[in-house]
Chains A and B, each alone.
Chain A
Amino acid sequence: MHERSLVQTLLNQVQQVVDADGGGVVKEIQVQVGDLSGVEPLLFESAFAELVTEWFSQECRLVLDIVPVKAECRLCGQCFEVQDYEFLCPACGTGPVEVIQGDQVKLMSITVDSEKSVSGAKS
Chain B
Amino acid sequence: MNTRVLSVRRDIQAEQKADAAAERERLGRRGTLVINLLSSPGSGKTSLLEATARHWAGRRSMAVLVGDLETDRDAQRLAPLVPVAQLTTGGACHLELPLVQRGLQALGDPAVDFLFIENVGNLVCPASHDLAEHLRVVLISTTEGDDKPGKYPKMFRTSQAMVVTKQDLLPHVPFSIEAVTEDALKIQPALKVLTTCAIDNRGIQEWCEFLEQQYQEKIESVYEPAVNR
Contacts and interface: CB of A to CB of B under 8 A. Distances in A.
Interface of A: 1-2, 5-6, 9-10, 13, 17-18, 21, 24, 27, 31, 36-39, 85-88, 94-97, 104-115
A114 B6 contact: no
Nearest to A89: B189
Contacts of A2: 93-94, 125, 128-129
Given A9-B12, A115-B1, A85 B153 contact: yes
A32 to B, nearest CB: 9
Contacts of A106: 9-12
B5 A97 contact: no
Interface of B: 1-13, 16, 93-94, 96, 124-125, 127-129, 150, 153-154, 157, 186-190
Nearest to A21: B6
A112 B190 contact: no
B6 A17 contact: yes
A114 B2 contact: yes
Contacts of A27: 3
Specify which of A1, A13, A85, A105 lies most central, judged by the most chain B CB atoms within 10 Å of its CB: A85
A113 B6 CA distance: 11
B224 to A, nearest CB: 29
A90 B94 CA distance: 34
A117 to B, nearest CB: 13
In the A-B complex, the 6 residue pairs with the closest CB atoms: A38-B128, A85-B153, A95-B189, A114-B2, A2-B125, A110-B6
A85 B58 CA distance: 42
Contact of B5 (A1, A105, A109): A109
Contacts of A112: 3-6
A111 B124 contact: no
B69 to A, nearest CB: 13
B165 to A, nearest CB: 23
A87 B189 contact: yes
B8 A109 contact: yes
Contact of B8 (A85, A97, A108): A108
A85 B6 contact: no
Given A38-B124, A97-B189, A113 B1 contact: yes
Given A2-B93, A2-B129, A87-B188, A115 B2 contact: yes
A13 B186 contact: no
Nearest to A31: B12
Contact of B3 (A9, A31, A114): A114
Given A38-B125, A87-B186, 19 more contacts: A1-B125, A2-B129, A5-B96, A6-B12, A13-B10, A27-B3, A36-B157, A38-B124, A85-B153, A86-B186, A95-B190, A105-B11, A108-B8, A109-B5, A109-B6, A111-B4, A112-B3, A113-B1, A113-B3
Nearest to B125: A2
14 contacts: A1-B93, A2-B94, A9-B13, A9-B16, A10-B12, A85-B150, A85-B187, A87-B187, A87-B188, A105-B11, A106-B11, A108-B7, A109-B6, A109-B9
Nearest to B16: A9
Contacts of A96: 189-190
A15 to B, nearest CB: 12
A38 B5 contact: no
B171 to A, nearest CB: 31
